[in-house]
Amino acid sequence: MDKNKAEHFNESASKTTSKSEQIIEALNIQSNDNIIDFGSGGGFYSNKFAQKVGDNGKVYAVDKNKDLLDYVQNKSKFNNIIPVLLSENELPIEKGSINLIFMRNVTHHLKKRVNVFKQLGEFLTENGKFSIIDYKKGKLFSFHGLFGHSVNQQKIEKEMIQAGFKVFKKIDLIEHQHFTIFEKN
């Protein structure tokens, strides 16, 4: 079942309307960057990032679902993707070593987001960026509206400010989603 779940996540991310190529371009990823793909799902973006950062960069595919991480590891053609199972313990990543933290369709699942953002921020380099893409509030009788799979952009901005970040760039790219890149304050 998780194979189907992983493939579903990857298929969704690869749709033209998801604008993955434009998202990656907006992130300004450099060769040798280190990236956390937080909530990596089926690894669509982990693989895209791995290609961009090259052999000297690393992509940490972080997820709470071991089966999804196994799928990422088994299906990836890149050896610079490091699957990391999210647990109550500390992430096995060197603090101050990450150039980009990427979250897509994850924040609406997080509890105590300010704490999560603060903790993740410790992994960023001085000039590191924190990118969040999530759904705008959907109509009541839409999937996102019925299941609460959205977080208001202003709320995320407020929580990121509380966590010690400021808005670096807002990108109006995806019709049903907001896309904001933050930097340390």
CA pair distance 58, 51, nearest whole angstrom: 10
Residue ranges in the chain whose pLDDT is less than 70: 1-3, 88, 137-150
Q: So what's the pLDDT on residue 109?
A: 85
Name which of 120, 177, 132, 121 is nearest 157 in CA terms.
Answer: 132
**Kind of pairing, strands 98-104 and 34-38?**
parallel
Superfamily of domain 2-184: Vaccinia Virus protein VP39 (3.40.50.150)
Is the pTM higher than 0.85? The answer reads yes
